[in-house]
Amino acid sequence: MGRKLIIAVGLAGVVGALGDSFITYSEYATQLYLDPHGVSCAKCHGLYGEGKVLERYAVLKKGKNGEVKVVWKEVKAPNIQYVPLSKLKKKLYNPGTYSYMPSYRILSDTEIYALYYYLNQIAPEKWKKLKARLFNPSQIGR
Ligand code: HEC
């Protein structure tokens, strides 16, 4: 009896959830990219995976004549549009000891595939459209 009740309640929950807040796969993939269990990919890689400079720092170097030169270096989160699935999974599970990037070992294969889908299908298309709008002079004033 107890188990039947739990199944009934469980089913009602699933149906209720679908009815109340049904989202498409694209919306799900986008949401996951924006918030994959807490630390957003977008914060570092940009909203469309287009890449971003995270930090600039100065390094002092000695020139040929002994003069001190300031050289600016950058820490970049690269463009990750069209990243292959195997590379994505490897990076998420093991970003490397000295990487700025956190590891995301809690992500399941299903979730990693959704991120892959976002980065290969949704993000590049949206990025292309946005760039066309931003950099097309004929669109000014419309
Ligand atoms: C705190 C900043 C930060 C966050 C958050 C972050 N990354 Fe990164 N990511 C980096 C940096 C910096 C690199 C480049 C250095 C490196 O490879 O470790 C990188 C590299 C990568 C690469 C390898 C790219 C290449 O061509 O070698 C992939 C793929 C990637 N990130 C995907 C993601 C995804 C997906 C998420 C979210 C689940 C994410 N990252 C979250 C900073 C971040």
Higher pLDDT residue, 63 or 121?
121
| Average confidence (pLDDT) over 127-133 | 91
| Average confidence (pLDDT) over 23-49 | 96
The residue ranges of every structural domain in the chain are 23-50+80-128
Phi, psi of 69 (to 5 degrees): -115, 145
Q: How far is the CA of 5 from the centre of ligand 1 (A)?
A: 45
Q: What percentage of the chain carries pLDDT values higher than 70?
A: 82
Q: Is the CB of 39 under 6 A from ligand 1?
A: yes
**Of 84, 28, 85, 75, residue with least CA distance to 53:** 75
**Of 134, 122, 104, residue with least CA distance to 41:** 104
pLDDT tens digits, residue range 4-13? 655 555 444 4
Q: How many residues does the chain have?
A: 142
**Mutate-to-test residue for ligand 1 from 30, 33, 44, highest number of ligand atoms within 8 A of CB:** 44
Whole-prediction pTM: 0.82
**Mutate-to-test residue for ligand 1 from 47, 56, 101, 111, highest number of ligand atoms within 8 A of CB:** 101
Q: How far apart are CA 122 and CA 31, in angstroms?
A: 12
Is pLDDT at 26 greater than 50 in this prediction? yes
Q: How far apart are CA 61 and CA 50, in angstroms?
A: 31
